[in-house]
Chain A
Amino acid sequence: MTARSQILGWTGGTWTIFVKDFRSELRTRYALNALIMFVVTTLSIILFALGNESASAELLSGVLWIIVFFSAMSGLSRAFVSEEERGTVMTLHLIARPSIVYFGKLLFNLILLVMINLLTVVLYLTLVTNFVIRSYDVFIMTMTLGTMGLASASTIIAAIIAKANVKGTLFPVLSFPILLPLLLTVIKATQLSVDGAAFSQAAGEFRVLISYLLVIITTSYLLFDFVWKD
């Protein structure tokens, strides 16, 4: 066997990196436990703050995305920071091409965020009684595209901050300007789903979200080599 054939292939490699991260996450449950507690804590603060007030559904759709944004910010940087902390970056350099590492990490972050957002949405819909969704198709599409966009943008930012000296505080600072167009669009689309808008009325928002996703993933794919190689 030559050394070349041992380098991981495209789909297999992405899957291998994902399974490796997923297994190590299941062993420690570091990110998952912290994230679940984060969601529960934030939600209880919001419930305390709301008290007996009846907040409008428009306002509450913004609050939902505040929880989603900050839970993503507290959990998704682990993917690259943990590699730097454990000193396993060199091993990854040896076994896989940079773009494969990127897509593996992206898949891991995406699955993690999907799990967390499912929990957030279920808890939010049951506990916040004023938040009633009238058109579920718009809401589900918004959550799906929003989660994918959030995961893709925060993966490349996580790769950048993993190389910096102060990691924790830098992550939301760097991510927010990048995510601002996405956040404004998903909040608008969530408000549409609360208002009971038809799917075609929110099509413009979905187009923006899909193009955002494609632009971020393409740019990240092109630039990841520079970030990953020292």
Chain B
Amino acid sequence: MSKIAKPFLGLWLSVVIIVAFVFPIVPVPEKWYEFPMIPGLENRARIIFFHVPMAWTAVMAFIVSVGYGIRYLAKKDLADDLKTAASAGLGFLFCALATITGSIWAKFNWGSFWNWDPRETSIFALLLIYGAYFALRSAIDDSEKRATLSAVYSIIAGVTVPFFIFVMPRIMAGLHPGSEGSGDSGPLLGGTINVTMRIVFYSSLAGFVGLYLWMLSMRIRLEKFEFQRSVLKK
């Protein structure tokens, strides 16, 4: 399975990356390989192919992590805890990547690295939650206690994250497309991007999700070996 998955994933993402950078952006796209020009963004619009899938994958990893946490509390199977930790680790990685790419992009498009835009604040909160989650895990020695408490914490953190959607637009206006008050539903849901851009975006999203799943399966295998080694040591 993984013998086919690895080269396929590598090829898929390479094609996505090349296409995302090479296809020209023109005012009125006529040929199938041309991207439309979005006023005010020009070539900077290409971030949508990398930054957005990263952020979505980070959120997905968090949801998967909370899901396995709930399953651990229901079944008390330590294998679920390994999956929770593995998914949280990857979620943190994707979250950090989305933050860094977004921040660099914001410098060139909005003028500063950080603006406390609603989505920037939400991803900052997600980073803090991951940080707190790993701090909690490293503070407990007993593996069952660690599994239970970190699962409970991730669920409590999970129920507070949606509040940012309601809280933040009241505090400051969004800079991201699709924010409340920007007047449209964003390039993905609105009509500012064409079919080619949409296909490349969803291919990239599929590639990133595939990358996440492949890395997750590797991490779970690794954590299982380490768990078995620690059992054998005792």
| Docked-complex contact A164 and B149, CB < 8 angstroms | yes
**CB of A165 closer than 8 Å to a CB of B:** yes
Q: Do the beta carbons of A216 and B170 come within 8 Å of each other?
A: no
Given A188-B171, A226-B152: A215 and B160 interface contact (C-beta under 8 Å): yes
Q: Given known contacts A174-B136, A226-B73, is B149 in contact with A160 (CB within 8 Å)?
A: yes
**Identity of the chain A residue whose Cβ is nearest the Cβ of B130 in the assembled complex:** A177
The tally of CB-CB contacts under 8 A between chains A and B is 91
The answer, yes or no, to whether A53 is at the interface (CB within 8 Å) is no
Q: B145 — nearest CB in chain A belongs to which residue?
A: A163
B48 at the binding interface (Cβ < 8 Å)? no
- Least distance between B78 CB and chain A CB atoms (Å): 15
Is B160's CB under 8 angstroms from A181's CB?
yes
Q: Which of A166, A173, A220, A227 contacts B149 (CB 8 A)?
A: A227
A-B contact pairs, 11 of them (CB 8 A): A156-B156, A157-B153, A160-B149, A164-B139, A164-B140, A177-B125, A184-B167, A188-B171, A219-B159, A220-B156, A226-B148
Whether the Cβ atoms of B128 and A176 lie closer than 8 Å is yes
Whole-angstrom distance from the CB of A186 to the nearest CB of chain B? 10
Number of A residues contacting the other chain (C-beta, 8 Å)? 33
Distance of B34 from chain A, by nearest CB (Å): 43
9 A-B pairs closest in CB distance: A181-B163, A177-B128, A164-B139, A177-B129, A223-B152, A174-B132, A181-B167, A166-B139, A164-B140
Query: How far apart are the CA atoms of A184 and B163 in the complex, in Å?
Result: 11
* In the complex, B168 has a CB within 8 A of chain A: yes
User: Which residues of B line the A interface, CB within 8 A?
Assistant: 73, 121, 125, 128-129, 131-132, 135-136, 139-141, 145, 148-149, 151-153, 155-157, 159-160, 163-164, 166-168, 170-171
With the chains together, A166 CA to B132 CA distance in Å?
13
User: Within 8 Å CB of B153, what residues of A?
Assistant: 157, 160, 174
B141 to chain A, nearest CB (A): 7
Among listed A5-13, A78-86, A132-140, A204-212, interface-contacting one: A204-212
- Kindly identify, within residues 176 to 191 of chain A, every residue whose CB is under 8 Å from any CB belonging to chain B: 176-178, 180-181, 184-185, 188
> For the complex, what is the distance from the CA of A160 to the CA of B168, rounded to whole Å?
28
* A197 within 8 A of partner (CB): no
Q: Does A170 contact B (CB under 8 A)?
A: yes
CB within 8 Å for A219 and B156 given contacts A227-B148, A230-B145: yes
| Contact assessment for A215 and B159 in the assembled complex, using a CB-CB cutoff below 8 Å | yes
B132 and A176 contacting across the interface, CB-CB below 8 Å: yes
In the complex, A178→B132 CA distance in Å?
10
